Amino acid sequence: MIIGERKPLEEIFDRTASFKKILVLGCETCVAVCLAGGKKEAEETASSISLHRKEESKPVEIKADSIQRQCEYEFVDEIADLVKDYDVVLSMACGVGVQTLAEKLPDKFVLPGLNTQFLGFPLEQGVWMENCQACGNCVLDMTYGICPITRCSKSILNGPCGGSSEGLCEISTQDNEIACGWHLIYERLKVLGKQEYMNEVVPLKDWSSSFHGGPRKIVREDVKIVRGE
C-alpha cells in the first residue's frame, strides 16, 4: 500500500493562496486506507482552507470530492465536467495520482496535498511502516519473506553486520528502536526449523531494474488493447 501524509496546512494555504475556486480531490484507495487522502480527509482539508480564507478576508469557492483512483484515466474522466468550474485541483492522492491528473487535465493547475512516503503496511492502529522499496528485483525468496533492502538499515544482502546487538540495529535510539532486519530473518528461520539457511550466500543484487535512467515501464503485450483495430 502507498503510504502518504498530508502536507502541513501552512504549506497548503500558501500554495493555494492565489486561487479563488479550489477543488480538493480525494482518492479512495491507498491514501484513504492510511487516513491521509480519502473523501473525509479532503473535506477536512477543504474546511481548513475555507476557515483560513475567512480569517484572511479572502473569499474562496471550495469543494471537496473524491474518486476511486486518481492514477487511472477512467476514474479521472468521471470528474471532467466538475473540474471545469475550478481554477485548481488540490490532489489528496499519491504522487502518481497527482501526475495522472496533471496529464489528463493539462489546462488546470494540479497541486499535491500529500507527501508520498513509502510502500508499507499498518503496524497497528495509526502506525504505518515501510516494508518494500519497490526495487524491481525481489529477493524475498532468498530472505524468507523479510526484505533486507528495506528492513536492514544498510540494505545488506548477507548479514547481520557487526552493529547488530540484542536484535536491534546500531542506529536505534531510546525513542526509536529499529529491529535488525537480519535478526528478523534468523528468527523466522528458527520458527521454520531451518537456521542452517543463514549460511547460504545471497548473490549480488541486480539493481539494473531499479536504476537505469528514466521512469520504469512494464508492457504486457497479452493484455494490451490495440487502438483502431
**pLDDT tens per residue, range 5-60:** 999 999 999 999 999 999 999 999 999 999 999 999 999 999 999 999 999 999 99
Q: For each of the domains in the chain, give its residue range(s) and CATH number, in order of start.
A: 2-118 (3.40.50.2300), 133-199 (no CATH)
Which of the four pLDDT bands, split at 50, 70 and 90, describes residue 209?
confident
Does pLDDT of 229 surpass 60?
no
Closest C-alpha among 151, 144, 131 to residue 189: 144
Angle made by CA atoms 105, 107, 112, in degrees to the nearest 5: 60
Decide if 24 contacts 49 (C-beta within 8 A).
Answer: yes
CA angle 177, 181, 186 (to 5 degrees): 120
